[in-house]
Amino acid sequence: MPIEIPAAAGTAEALVARPSTGTGPFPGVILYMDAFGLRPRIQDMAQRVADWGYIVLAPNVFYREGKAAELAPATDMTTPEGRETAGKAAFPRVGRLTADKAMADIDAWVKALGGLDGVTPGPIGAFGYCMGARLAVRTAAARPDVVAACAGFHGGGLATDAPDSPHLGLARARARFVFGHADHDPGMTPDAVAGLGGALQSAGLQASNEIYPGASHGYSMADTSAFHAEATERHFRELRALLDATLKG
């Protein structure tokens, strides 16, 4: 179900997925999309998580650039060539979504989730893919009062030398974390994975920080050539365990 959210720089679209069965109330979670935006694959993933007993909000974090339908990939991404073509259109938007812009929107996403009918008052979860993993970490750092679970999968740039690197905010977080990194991902090298792990440990956070063997960047996106079925199912298992332990425990 699509909704509209008043965000920092205008009105943003968002997808909402609810459990197929049950009367609720249900814990709320935010799903941060990958660079290719809101599309049927994101809706499918949101619904799968919702059917575990959650209400899922997936905002169009690129709302400054246009509507989700306008930004959706125009090519078949199940071929490497099609994915590369779609990336040339999508990746510049990632760069334009600066940390300052992303941080300005976080309260809007959290408020919108809490305002949905049937969402249990109290702790929430945040998880994301690709650049969405960075947004999930920033959300956990910005709102430690409500974010109890945070996860990122095939994320990039989570621990860099930049002064606004996401891992630098972990000292403020209170969530439990799960990361599933793509193998040989140039956006998240072994040194970066180790740096992220060090920051999690220094902050005293309970966390899993794993590399998924053989899985390339984008492994969970079944509408692209990067899809890796085994890694995708592993990420769903680990995400569900995290959410159930923190939001239903």
Q: Residue 163: which residues within 8 A CB-CB, separation 6 or more? A: none
pTM, entire model = 0.97
- Spatial neighbors of 249 by CB under 8 A, at least 6 apart, are none
130-50-41 Cα angle (round to 5): 45
Closest C-alpha among 220, 219, 177, 172 to residue 197: 177
Residue type present at position 1 = M
Both tokens of 28, joined, read 């709320």
CATH of the domain at 153: 3.40.50.1820
152-201 per-position pLDDT tens digit: 999 999 999 999 999 999 999 999 999 999 999 999 999 999 999 999 99
If one counts the domains in the chain, the total is: 1
Per-residue pLDDT tens for 33-90? 999 999 999 999 999 999 999 999 999 999 999 999 999 999 999 999 999 999 999 9
Domain that holds residue 98: 3-248
Q: What is the pLDDT of residue 194?
A: 98
CA angle 89, 211, 106 (to 5 degrees): 55
